[in-house]
Structure 1
Amino acid sequence: MLDTMDRVFVQTTTFPRAHRSAWDWQARADWDVVEEETEVKMRFDMPGLDKEDVKVAVEDDVLVIKGEHKKEGKDNDSWSWRSFNSYDTRIQLPDNLEKDKIKAELKNGVLYISIPKTKAERKVIDVQIQ
């Protein structure tokens, strides 16, 4: 039984898209991170928030994303209503990213962030075995 559970875990973590069904479009995550050769791209769904409502910063190698939007009004029957959207997340960034060159763009309620990777040259040192 444990062997079977291990295989199921390995299969789903190794091939996360292999077990998707036609209904998965409804269960899309509200964030995503993609690592490419030269940069890391992130996407965060932030419905109801505008550019003025969102703050992106780096604090001690931690990407901080905050957003808040409050709205109040009355409908046609004089009922008052309130709307409140809030977003707060922190992500530890690895050392191989150029944190001072982060780009962020908010389009249609989706925050896109791209962070270039550092151009580190691989250094190989032969170690003498004694």
Structure 2
Amino acid sequence: MKGKDTFYGVFLRVDMPGVGKESVKVRIEKDTVIMKGEGQKDFEDDELGPRYYFSIQLPIEQYNTDGVKANMVNGVLKVFVPKFKLKERTNLLHVTVF
């Protein structure tokens, strides 16, 4: 898994060869983004196909988990978790400097 944190949010890229978009699940549990995928088995004697599980913890007060977007193309899952805009954050404390 690769990730890049920007001013706008965090971009995640996960390689899941052999997995189609219908077999990928992305969910948020509290402060954790969970990405799972399961592919088809290649041969009849294979017991299971490829399975992938990735998770990343994010500071929940900075990220808008309601705005998560995901896209799966050619075995590559891309997930974007946007950050709250400054005015949307509720835990900011404004301090007057003297």
| Alignment TM-score, normalising by the size of structure 1 | 0.62
Q: Does the 8 Å CA contact 2:31/2:58 hold for their aligned counterparts?
A: yes
Give the aligned partner of residue 43 of structure 1: 13
Residue aligned with 2:66, SS: helix
Q: What is the aligned-residue RMSD (CA, Å)?
A: 2.1
Give the aligned partner of residue 69 of structure 1: 39
Cα distance in 1, alignment partners of residues 30 and 81 from structure 2: 16
Residue aligned with 1:52, SS: helix
1:56 is the counterpart of 2:26: yes
Cα distance in 2, alignment partners of residues 72 and 43 from structure 1: 24
Greater relative CO (CA pairs within 8 A, separation 6+): 2
Q: CA deviation at 1:97?
A: 0.7
Return the match for 2:85 from 119, 124, 128: 119
Instruction: Report how many aligned residue pairs link the two structures.
Output: 92
Larger proportion of helix: 1
Q: State, as a whole percentage, how many aligned pairs show the same letter.
A: 36
Gaps in structure 1 of 5+ consecutive residues: 1-30, 74-79
Residue aligned with 1:88, SS: strand
Give the aligned partner of residue 93 of structure 1: 58
The list of structure 1 runs, each at least 4 consecutive aligned residues, that deviate by more than 2 angstroms after superposition, is 70-73, 80-83, 121-124
Gaps in structure 2 of 5+ consecutive residues: none
Q: Encode CA deviations 1:34-63: one digit per residue, 9 max, x unaligned.
A: 111112111000100001111000011211
Mark the structure with the bigger radius of gyration: 1
Q: Encode CA deviations 1:84-125: one digit per residue, 9 max, x unaligned.
A: 100112211112111010000001110001111101247541
Cα distance in 2, alignment partners of residues 81 and 92 from structure 1: 37
